[in-house]
Structure 1
Amino acid sequence: MKFATVEEPDGTVRCGLVEGDNLLRLPAGTTVLELIRAGQLHDAGAAARAAGDAVPLSGLRLLPPLEPPTVRDFVAFEQHVAGMVAGDGGSVPPEWYEAPTFYFTNPYALLGAHDDVPVPPGSQLFDFELEVAAVVGRDAASPSPEEVDIAGYTVFNDWSARDLQRREMKVGLGPAKGKDSATTLGPWLVTADELESYRDSAGFLGLDLRVSVNGTQIGQDLLSHMGWPFEELAAYAGRGTRVRAGDVLGSGTCGNGGCLAELWGRGREIPPLKPGDVVEMTVEGIGTIRNTVVEGIELPPVRPARKRS
């Protein structure tokens, strides 16, 4: 099943089941997050089919499929890490292989599948990141991978201001402002059972991932090239703490052109994103998101720190 959250022409927000070109609306006030936490996604989908309250998707604005309590983004593709450090003559750090690494990003900056994306204030090196996100289906404390429940998957674009990211990470923290201006989720949430046929014997989903800019394909990879399957990422996220139903876990950027910075690291001369550029991402079995980069707001420069004498 596929669940979407939409804004209707009168500004009303509704969610429902996607079937073909239509949205089968659920009762007003229902949210995808509540359905996940109650373990009722499939029951709600069956109820939506029975009710038959269908409206064309073409007249609706796709919002992020849910409002997650937290958004973690991992770095689970070895080829992406290798490309990011190649320009500095580096190699994948041994620490990458020891355990998954993630950061918390901004749940207040989520955008829908076709929303415009403003360039972050002060950035001249704007970039995309092609990812898939898993949504946790059940609360758990220090779960084993076998105890993890995944409710579903969606396409995840971790928009990145590389110049801001590079500066702040030299301080030994981050990424922060280099990453928190926008994250696209969409076009909908595909329930986990829909993608089980793509799972290989090692537990990875063999989904094809592609990204293009202005109609030219930039990158392509397979989700099964992750270093860890999502169940292990979720278990690590909850290690010594807990994960909650509705938490979003990004796979991290895929390799083979999953972002511009990886190609820059490998010596490719591709310009950063600019206003007017259209970034389209398609993930097999899930769907397509398509966002246009637009001018961002202008703000005064950040005041430097006062140096102690």
Structure 2
Amino acid sequence: MRFATFLHGGRQQSGVVVEDKVHPFEVPAELGEFIEAGEGTLRSAAEEALAGTTPLPLADVRLLPPLQPPTVRDFVTFERHVEGMARGHGDTVPEEWYAAPTFYFTNPYAVIGAHDDVPVPPGCERFDFELEVAAVIGKSGRDLSPDQAREHIIGYTILNDWSARDLQSREMKVRLGPAKGKDSATTLGPWLVTADELEPHRTADGFLDLHLTVEVNGETVGQDSLANMSWTFEEMTAYASRGTWVRPGDVLGSGTCGNGGCLAELWGRHHILEPPPLAPSDTVTMTVQGIGSISNTVIEGVPPIPVPRARHRH
């Protein structure tokens, strides 16, 4: 099943998507509340909506992020992406990358919808996209095994981790971050696809073989398969739960795919800013087999409000 959150007539609603229509839930609750109540409750709400509410054409609604996640962990699981990024600095994939599925926490307050405009972050001159798929947690757990973790993933959505590369590069020299380089926007959408819908695409070794593409202004820039991840979502979930909790609504991003899943990877391989950084009026469209498409247009941002340099104390 596919579940969306949307605006219609100035009212925020959630519902179940069938073909080109969305059936609003009869109960006016956020999708995250249904997820927290349990998958059985979510499916019952969907069945009631399909039987009892008037469907709305998707063309008549504004899609919002499917849910407002309490946390967003963004992993880095595609070796080709890591290799391309490292090449830009004259490096190779660090040995530490192979040891465990590394992630960072990004800003849950910055999620935006499938077709929302994206302002250039203040002070950014090298704006970039990142093509990813995200798993959404449906049931609480901690210290999970990968086998146990499968029962804790309720579904998947597309994730675009918008990145201010120049800001990111500077701040990570402090050996902390990323911070403002990843703080301005993360697209989630167009909806949440339940895990069972994607099971036919699962490979023998546990990966989801979904085709991924990204276009800028209608021109294909990158494409890959989700099966080229080096860890499964279940393994990522198990690692995320080590010594702590994962809870309903938590989002776990796959990290950027290889083969042009972001501009910075291509810059690293070509040693030139080609294709150029994103600029106002550029439209980035991402499509994932079995899930759908998102498309956001870059717009002018605001200038940065100055803050002083550090005061020397010795």
TM-score after normalising by structure 1? 0.98
Query: Please, which of 252, 265, 275 is the counterpart of residue 270 of structure 1?
Result: 275
Number of the residue aligned with 1:285:
290
Number of the residue aligned with 2:111:
110
Give the fraction of aligned pairs with identical amino acids, expressed as a percent. 63
- Structure 1 residue 34 displacement after superposition: 1.3
- Structure 1 residue 167 displacement after superposition: 0.6
Number of the residue aligned with 1:8:
8
d(CA) in 2 for partners of 1:125, 1:27: 45
Is 1:177 the equivalent of 2:148?
A: no
Number of the residue aligned with 1:302:
307
d(CA) in 2 for partners of 1:4, 1:300: 36
Residue deviations 1:101-124 (CA, integer Å, cap 9, x gap): 000011101000000000000000
Which contiguous aligned blocks of 4+ residues in structure 1 show a shift greater than 6 angstroms? none
d(CA) in 2 for partners of 1:169, 1:233: 24
1:86-165 matches, cutoff 5 A: 86-148=87-149, 149-165=152-168
Letter in 1 for 2:4: A
Number of the residue aligned with 2:28:
29
Matched pairs, number: 308
Unaligned residue ranges in structure 2 (runs of 5+): none
Number of the residue aligned with 1:238:
241
Letter in 2 for 1:212: E
Letter in 2 for 1:144: S
d(CA) in 2 for partners of 1:34, 1:19: 21
Residue deviations 1:175-221 (CA, integer Å, cap 9, x gap): 11100100000000000000000000110000000000001000000
d(CA) in 1 for partners of 2:53, 2:305: 52
CA RMSD of aligned residues (A): 0.9
- Structure 1 residue 44 displacement after superposition: 1.7
Is 1:42 the equivalent of 2:43?
A: yes
Letter in 2 for 1:227: S
Q: Secondary structure at the match of 1:131?
A: strand
Letter in 1 for 2:91: G
Letter in 1 for 2:88: G
- Structure 1 residue 297 displacement after superposition: 1.1
Is 1:78 the equivalent of 2:79?
A: yes
Higher helix share: 2
CA contact (8 A) 2:25 2:53 kept: no
Moved more, 25-34 or 210-219: 25-34
- Structure 1 residue 52 displacement after superposition: 3.3
CA contact (8 A) 2:26 2:48 kept: no
Unaligned residue ranges in structure 1 (runs of 5+): none
- Structure 1 residue 239 displacement after superposition: 0.2
CA contact (8 A) 1:14 1:28 kept: no
- Structure 1 residue 308 displacement after superposition: 1.9
Residue deviations 1:34-72 (CA, integer Å, cap 9, x gap): 111112222221111111321111111100001111111
d(CA) in 2 for partners of 1:44, 1:28: 8
Q: Secondary structure at the match of 1:42?
A: helix
Number of the residue aligned with 1:222:
225
d(CA) in 1 for partners of 2:300, 2:88: 29
d(CA) in 1 for partners of 2:27, 2:200: 33
d(CA) in 2 for partners of 1:181, 1:244: 24
Query: Please, which of 237, 259, 264 is the counterpart of residue 262 of structure 2?
Result: 259
Q: Secondary structure at the match of 1:170?
A: helix
CA contact (8 A) 2:26 2:45 kept: no
TM-score after normalising by structure 2? 0.96
Query: Please, which of 181, 190, 195 is the counterpart of residue 192 of structure 1?
Result: 195
CA contact (8 A) 2:129 2:162 kept: yes
Number of the residue aligned with 2:18:
19
- Structure 1 residue 28 displacement after superposition: 4.5
Letter in 1 for 2:76: V
Letter in 2 for 1:3: F
